[in-house]
Amino acid sequence: MARRQDQQRRSSIHDVASRAGVSAATVSKVLAGVTTVKPENAQRVFDAVEQLGYRVDPLASDMRRAKRRIIGAIMPEFESEFFGQMITELEGLAEQRGYTLVAASSRESEAREKEILARMHDWRVAGVVLAPVRNEHGPAAEFMKANGMTGVLIDRVLSDDAFDTVSADSAAASAEVARELIGKGHRHILVVGLGEQAATVRARLDGFRGAALKLAPGMRIDVVLAESDVGPLRAQLRDYFDACEGKDQGEGKGERPTAVYSLFLKGTLVALSEFRRRGWHCPNDISLVGFDDAEWMQVTWPAIAAVVQPVREIAGHAMEALFARIEGGEGPPQARLEPCRVLMRESVGSPGSGSHSGGGNRQ
């Protein structure tokens, strides 16, 4: 058994240099791919590198360069599939370009977001991919601006006058959801959202409402917006449905909406949970569509309809934009919108087609 995990000294560029019989400067050049080195010497360097198992210390290297080859990524959380995939994609893309990604979670706190950003600034990161907690006007983006940091804003943003932005085309997707639901005959729909995420909620709500009212002008759209957290939403939703039920005593089917469109993932969970509590089943008792897809949504019974965000595209274009800026790209900030896919699954049906007390939708 090893006595201890001894950190043996790694060979430095000077070790390579002396072994190859050249100077450290030459080694540096060879490794940087400079072609003006005599082939013979280059070979000796490669051999020495091989023999010593030498690898450049990226930090020491960055120390001397102007910009450090580090990208910072700040996400509101890591627990959801969306941001998990996002980080995975960003990491891969950064790596492809020889950069290291340092990821941090703001845990849905703007204060923490700014702190992390300050730390990344200390690290002199070359650029930052920021998925802000609220929107592009938060203190974090402000900090970036004030300190001349290079960055891209993603997800909960629309556009900005200082940074490029990349996000899902929430409005278009929501319009499609509206078309689908109205096509199925729904004329009374509840939309559930989180007020804090101002930028995207507005876009999604407006996109939905615009399309819906155009197709069915007289229809009713109710909105329940949680202020700042998901906790209260649960109660708000309960109250909302209680009020609905109150209005139609003795009729058996009244002012209750026939479909719910949740503008964010946690809202979908809360809605499902509330349906459970009331013993309502999708799609017979009520239909449900959620913004944001998740793997489990296709294996539950019924499968949950969802808007799928193009994670790869968002990550890809964010990194493209970021590196363009890092490499000195000029020009006004671009606001990109990536199209979503809407997956209509079993949780959506036509109103009145199922019995209010009947069993679930079966094969």
Tokens of 361: 């939708």
**Of these partners, a second copy, DNA, none, which one is at the site of residue 98 (CB under 5 to 8 Å by kind)?**
none
Closest CA to 259 of 203, 187, 358: 187
Q: How far is the CB of 173 from a second copy (least distance, A)?
A: 21
How far is the C-alpha of 144 from the C-alpha of 127, rounded, in Å? 10
Residues forming the site for DNA (CB under 7 A)? 9-10, 12-14, 21-29, 31-32, 36-38, 40-42, 54, 56-57, 60-61, 63-65
Closest CA to 195 of 186, 205, 184, 187: 205
How far is the C-alpha of 260 from the C-alpha of 248, rounded, in Å? 19
Q: Which residues pair with 155 in a beta bridge?
A: none
Query: For residues 221 and 284, which CB has a smaller minimum distance to a second copy in the complex?
Result: 284
Query: For residues 66 and 251, which CB has a smaller minimum distance to a second copy in the complex?
Result: 66
Query: For residues 115 and 206, which CB has a smaller minimum distance to a second copy in the complex?
Result: 115
**Of these partners, a second copy, DNA, none, which one is at the site of residue 352 (CB under 5 to 8 Å by kind)?**
none
**Of these partners, a second copy, DNA, none, which one is at the site of residue 111 (CB under 5 to 8 Å by kind)?**
none
How far is the C-alpha of 66 from the C-alpha of 64, rounded, in Å? 7
**Of these partners, a second copy, DNA, none, which one is at the site of residue 355 (CB under 5 to 8 Å by kind)?**
none
Q: How far is the CB of 42 from DNA (least distance, A)?
A: 7
Q: How far is the CB of 63 from a second copy (least distance, A)?
A: 6
**Of these partners, DNA, a second copy, none, which one is at the site of residue 64 (CB under 5 to 8 Å by kind)?**
DNA
How far is the C-alpha of 317 from the C-alpha of 336, rounded, in Å? 8
How far is the C-alpha of 9 from the C-alpha of 289, rounded, in Å? 58
In one-letter notation, the amino acid at residue 191 is: V
Q: How far is the CB of 298 from a second copy (least distance, A)?
A: 7
Q: Is 18 helix (H, G, I), strand (E, B) or coil?
A: helix
Percentages helix, strand, coil for the chain (3-state, rounded to 5) are 45, 15, 40
Instruction: Compute the residue count for the chain.
Output: 363
Query: For residues 183 and 232, which CB has a smaller minimum distance to a second copy in the complex?
Result: 232
Query: For residues 42 and 189, which CB has a smaller minimum distance to DNA in the complex?
Result: 42
Query: For residues 14 and 341, which CB has a smaller minimum distance to DNA in the complex?
Result: 14
Q: How far is the CB of 61 from DNA (least distance, A)?
A: 4
Query: For residues 18 and 273, which CB has a smaller minimum distance to DNA in the complex?
Result: 18
Rounded to the nearest 10 degrees, the angle between the axes of helix 230-247 and helix 265-278 is 40
Tokens of 181: 């639901």
**Of these partners, DNA, a second copy, none, which one is at the site of residue 23 (CB under 5 to 8 Å by kind)?**
DNA
Q: How far is the CB of 212 from DNA (least distance, A)?
A: 56
Q: Which residues pair with 305 in a beta bridge?
A: 289
**Of these partners, DNA, a second copy, none, which one is at the site of residue 341 (CB under 5 to 8 Å by kind)?**
none
